Chains A and B, each alone.
Chain A
């Protein structure tokens, strides 16, 4: 098992190399002259040349690449033009906010999508099946930023149920001492339930907007996979053996149907990490997504580069996690090779 996990880790290395090359290419094909940009508006020809030398931009590309990789290995992603901080520091500080949001969204999506998909699969052609199909198709069509705005309008502006959709915590709540970086958990750990509730309140709308986006593929997959499993030979066997309906559906059906669902979690993460950027923008969420948008709009190159690398690394790690989860639930993968 440990050896298998190590092997999966090793298999992620080519992807990692690919990611680093692509980000390097992206960052070095930038239009305009970064040296002129970094030297500032009042730069002279000499100061630009000096900046270029300082940034190593006068070196041949392979050398630049090696320098870039060397810096990355040391965790040096450069300095953000906007904040003046090292990019890594900025990202590390903002990451928990994004993580917390994504996690809640994922939980929401799973809790809604999996039962919906199962329910539809067990009663194919029924009204619940059509409802599932309708919901899934509709949810897939709603851009997360639009859903977010509709939810804000209805639940904040009209009904007043939701707190002001700005940031992770209203200004008058104390920020709990950071343990996990998740405000909801940290507040509970600090014994401050009012703050925990407030943080949760801030999370609900963005998490739902984000989760709705992941709902469609999850429900669709659950339904398809459960229908496939229910039509398979071993379910017929289980029924022919007269096993109780509950055992047939859950022990035999559901557990098998879950395998493909676990498999698409990687794709779901891709969806969530992307939509995260938009949602954070709408809700003024101080995560890495809104950081990236700001960086993109102000051409803060080091920050963009750092963000893309970080997202890719994160995504690779998440996929690795999905693979390991897969090994745990599916004996065939575990013994494979």
Chain B
């Protein structure tokens, strides 16, 4: 009917790739900070991977030039043992990112499966997992982390475990809600009727569907994990001196505030701020891309 008519045909729907790209461009343009965060993130990753190669001095190399203010030779100054604060700040990226990534990785994987199982099976599984989440959430989380590290022993891995545990509830709740809302969807029902096992349905049909929103959670969570880990080492838990780590460096630098040597605490602290800032911005940007309505 319409063929013989001289009317331009409707253009076809843009492909998913184009949509994704448009979303990315839109997110970057509507919020240039996201682009900035991306660059910052790359810089941190480079510092974490190649820190010791980039750093102008060895992070543990002491010298007699103690507590020198920032200069060309030492842009961030030197600390009480004459170590270069810039080099230590760069090298510390690996420890801090490492702890945060490991902790978030653990809580992501564990939380995803526990939450997905609770959401899929319901009943007792749900009740037990739910009770677990409630119990963790009944503590002020940083205090719980302190208690866990104190109990398990004062090591870096225990900081990772403690941070992972206090992050767990967020992932469990998220995954549970997402799976629960899809449990009775047509494609799941179809998979179930064609004889797929629960584990297969979860891993093939449900979990891939909830990964994108989970990634937003991960990104927002990384910043928080770094804050917690640094907080714990600031009060003397976990990482020990002389290991370069931002929280410890701030804590050591705090002693020199009253004599005016601000650079010892300031630069590592500021690196910490930038790292958290960067993850939060990325999380926001990612959320804008995936769910523009959920913007807050």
Contacts and interface: CB of A to CB of B under 8 A. Distances in A.
Q: In the complex, are there CB atoms of A and B closer than 8 Å? A: yes
A105 interface: no
A143 B276 contact: yes
Interface stretch (B6-14, B143-151, B171-179): B143-151
A292 B143 CA distance: 9
B281 A137 contact: yes
B227 A143 contact: yes
B143 A273 contact: yes
A311 interface: yes
Interface of A is mostly: helix
A315 B254 contact: no
Contacts of B270: 146
19 contacts: A18-B135, A19-B135, A19-B139, A22-B139, A137-B284, A141-B223, A141-B273, A141-B274, A141-B280, A143-B272, A150-B266, A153-B262, A220-B296, A270-B139, A273-B143, A274-B140, A278-B142, A278-B231, A311-B140
Contacts of B212: none
A307 B223 CA distance: 27
A27 B135 CA distance: 16
Given A26-B147, A26-B148, A312 B284 contact: no
B147 to A, nearest CB: 4
Interface residues of B, number: 49
A15 interface: yes
Nearest to B235: A293
Contacts of B168: none
A14 B147 contact: no
Nearest to B251: A145
Chain A CB count within 10 A is highest, among B148, B150, B231, B265, for: B150
A224 B151 CA distance: 39
Contact of A157 (B131, B140, B257): B257
Nearest to B258: A157
Interface of B: 33, 131, 134-135, 138-144, 146-153, 223, 227, 230-231, 234-237, 247, 250-251, 253-254, 257-258, 260, 262, 265-266, 269-270, 272-274, 276-277, 280-281, 284, 296
A273 to B, nearest CB: 4
Contact of B153 (A31, A140, A145, A227): A31
B235 to A, nearest CB: 5
A29 interface: yes
Contacts of B237: 296
B277 A137 contact: yes
Given A14-B131, A15-B134, A157-B257, A145 B250 contact: yes
Given A22-B135, A223-B296, A138 B231 contact: no
Given A304-B150, A308-B143, A308-B144, A143 B262 contact: no
Interface residues of A, number: 55
Contacts of B143: 273-274, 277, 292, 307-308, 311-312
Contacts of B148: 26
Contacts of B269: 143, 146, 149-150
Contact of A153 (B33, B223, B257, B281): B257
A316 B284 contact: no
Interface string A66-84: 0000000000000000000
A269 interface: yes
Nearest to B231: A278
Contact of A14 (B134, B230, B234): B134
A138 B277 contact: yes
A231 B140 CA distance: 34
Nearest to A27: B151
B139 A282 contact: no
Contacts of B149: 296
Chain A CB count within 10 A is highest, among B146, B236, B258, for: B146
